[in-house]
Structure 1
Amino acid sequence: MKKARQLNKGLTVGVGIFVLFLLLGLFAKWLTPHDPLMINLEHRLNPPSMDYWFGTDHLGRCIFSRILYGIQTTVSSAIFIMAFTLLISLPIGLTAGYWRGRTDHFFMRIVDGTLALPDVIVTIAIVGILGPGFVNMLVAIVLVRWANYVRFIRSLVLKVGNEDFILSARMSGNSHIRIIKRYILPQIMTPTLVFVALDLGRIVLLMAGLSFLGLGVQPPTPEWGVMLYDATSYFQIAPHIMIFPGLAIMFFVLSCQLMSERLKKLA
């Protein structure tokens, strides 16, 4: 009983932080005290105050406002990447895991080739070929992450496919499509959601890392990785420039981690 309460508490905290980020990003236009792009050199590198809650950066821009607008850029992009990746990988994973044979062999050789190198290296290489930019970064991450989902979904389908109720459904004359939709999909959705919750934090870290390297979102767009890059030259004299964007990334990734771990134990 006590363990269940701890799990529910952790899940509540994770979901609460995640929803808070979504609400802050959704209502950023009304919550920000200053224009996130407005340059005011008279207030550059100001520490946190009543006027500027998180201080200002090297161009006098409000860090709090930029973090809130950064949610729209970073989090919404991560969710879009996740949705598009699932749109690609779910049908492939179901097909490979259910029909197996040559179909499975064909797709898994492509997946093995995609996963042969670390995700970060391949993503940087793709962005380097396509060129720095927001859209190219999204394309690169999708091209890299889809293989992880295909392999994971395929493993779930292989496990469920050997269950007795699947054999009974086949013997009852159900079509393959009906078996996948009615019997297999409901069984793999919860583990897939656990994987999605955990991977969402990884995608945010990857996006921030690419933007920090100058390969993702380009200045002056408010984005957490860009803000960290802008702060590198001023960290010693104005550490708040780097601390607050770093905390935003940390808390968002923490919320994803909490949701994933608790959902995994409750599943």
Structure 2
Amino acid sequence: MKKPILFYIALSMALTLVFIAIFAKYLAPYNPEFVELSAKLQLPGPDHWLGTDHMGRDVFSRLVTGTQLSLSIAGIVTLINLCIGVPLGLMVGWAGGGVEKTFTWLTNIVLAFPPFLLSMAFAGILGQGLGNIIIAVSSVGWVPYARVIRNMVVLMKDQEYVLGAKTMGAPVPYILRVHILPFVFKPILIMALMSIGEVVMMISGFSFLGIGVQPNVSEWGMMLNDAKSYIRSIPGLAIYPGMAILITVVTFNLLGEYLKKQERVDLWRD
């Protein structure tokens, strides 16, 4: 099937963002945390390509470093969600019965609240800091993974090849690992891609509200927070990080949505 042009654009943008994140140290012309008050609020020019902020810090360097930070946190959170959600979804889906009913009841309570608000509540309790933000977002993010994997296991455990393996006396961990887990790879990939943009937006939102990273950290949401007072005089200070967030969210959502459309079986509903 021929892939649409948007897919290739999104893939190119995703690879570009990953490249920037990996080589941010070499791409940033200045130390993003270096304060030079004599150079504050400069307009874009040959010395500072995107100008400087209210503390004289180079905006381009902070934007590049923010790419590294945002994608790194999103990657860590996604990995934690996978490590919790996938095994739990496999076990609950296979166990069925009361275990599945209890799991569904508990996750329904979690999903009754918007993920952003629930994560924000945890972030407010834990306080500022990268570690606390990762814990706050991960505490909610594993639930959709577990639900989708649970659905897949329920659909697949009555298939003939799975029943045949059970009849031959294959242990449950073996059946889950060999006969079921390979078939959940694509939905896991789709959810992971789409969650990257969601996590980036959450982290930026927390920082903008003052409950995210520390004020001196180069992060897109914190850059937006710093730019609030200068939105009319120097709108670029808010436009640059805002566009970075928008591009990242749209890029990974487009990749995930395309792959989701290719999924023949509807596993996304409970």
* TM-score range for the pair, normalised by the shorter chain length: over 0.9
Of 166, 180, 184, 2:180 maps to 184
Residue 152 of structure 2 aligns with which residue? 156
CA distance in 2, matches of 1:5, 1:19: 17
What residue ranges of structure 1 are gaps of 5+ in the alignment? none
Q: Secondary structure at the match of 1:58?
A: coil
What residue ranges of structure 2 are gaps of 5+ in the alignment? 264-270
Structure number with greater CO (CA < 8 Å, separation at least 6) is 1
CA distance in 1, matches of 2:90, 2:206: 31
Aligned residues: 263
The Cα RMSD (Å) is 1.5
1:5 partnered with 2:6: no
TM-score (structure 2 length as normaliser): 0.92
Report the alpha carbon displacement of residue 110 of structure 1 after superposing the two structures with TM.
Answer: 2.3
Report the alpha carbon displacement of residue 99 of structure 1 after superposing the two structures with TM.
Answer: 1.5
Report the alpha carbon displacement of residue 47 of structure 1 after superposing the two structures with TM.
Answer: 2.0
What pairs with 1:62-211 in structure 2 (closer than 5 Å)?
A: 62-211=58-207
| Alignment-mate amino acid for residue 72 of structure 1 | Q
Report the alpha carbon displacement of residue 71 of structure 1 after superposing the two structures with TM.
Answer: 1.6
Q: What are the Cα deviations for residues 105-160 of structure 1, in whole angstroms up to 9, with x where unaligned?
A: 23222212222222122112212222222211111111111222211211122122
Residue 219 of structure 1 aligns with which residue? 215
CA distance in 1, matches of 2:114, 2:182: 31
| Alignment-mate amino acid for residue 200 of structure 2 | V
| Alignment-mate amino acid for residue 165 of structure 2 | A
Q: Secondary structure at the match of 1:233?
A: helix
CA distance in 1, matches of 2:210, 2:52: 21
Q: What are the Cα deviations for residues 53-104 of structure 1, in whole angstroms up to 9, with x where unaligned?
A: 1111111111110011112211101100010111111111001111111221
| Alignment-mate amino acid for residue 36 of structure 1 | P
Residue 268 of structure 2 aligns with which residue? none
| Alignment-mate amino acid for residue 60 of structure 2 | F
Q: Secondary structure at the match of 2:56?
A: coil
Residue 240 of structure 1 aligns with which residue? 236
Q: Which moved more, 1:217-226 or 1:171-180?
A: 171-180
CA distance in 1, matches of 2:6, 2:175: 35
Q: Which moved more, 1:171-180 or 1:236-245?
A: 171-180
Q: What are the Cα deviations for residues 174-219 of structure 1, in whole angstroms up to 9, with x where unaligned?
A: 2211111111111111011111111111111011000111111011
Residue 254 of structure 2 aligns with which residue? 258
Report the alpha carbon displacement of residue 258 of structure 1 after superposing the two structures with TM.
Answer: 1.6
Q: Secondary structure at the match of 1:226?
A: helix
Q: Which moved more, 1:112-121 or 1:135-144?
A: 112-121
| Alignment-mate amino acid for residue 87 of structure 1 | C
Q: Secondary structure at the match of 2:41?
A: coil
What pairs with 1:13-52 in structure 2 (closer than 5 Å)?
A: 13-52=9-48
| Alignment-mate amino acid for residue 200 of structure 1 | I
| Alignment-mate amino acid for residue 188 of structure 1 | V
CA contact (8 A) 1:95 1:103 kept: no
Q: Secondary structure at the match of 2:229?
A: coil
Q: Which moved more, 1:201-210 or 1:120-129?
A: 120-129
1:56 partnered with 2:52: yes
| Alignment-mate amino acid for residue 132 of structure 2 | N
CA distance in 2, matches of 1:249, 1:121: 19
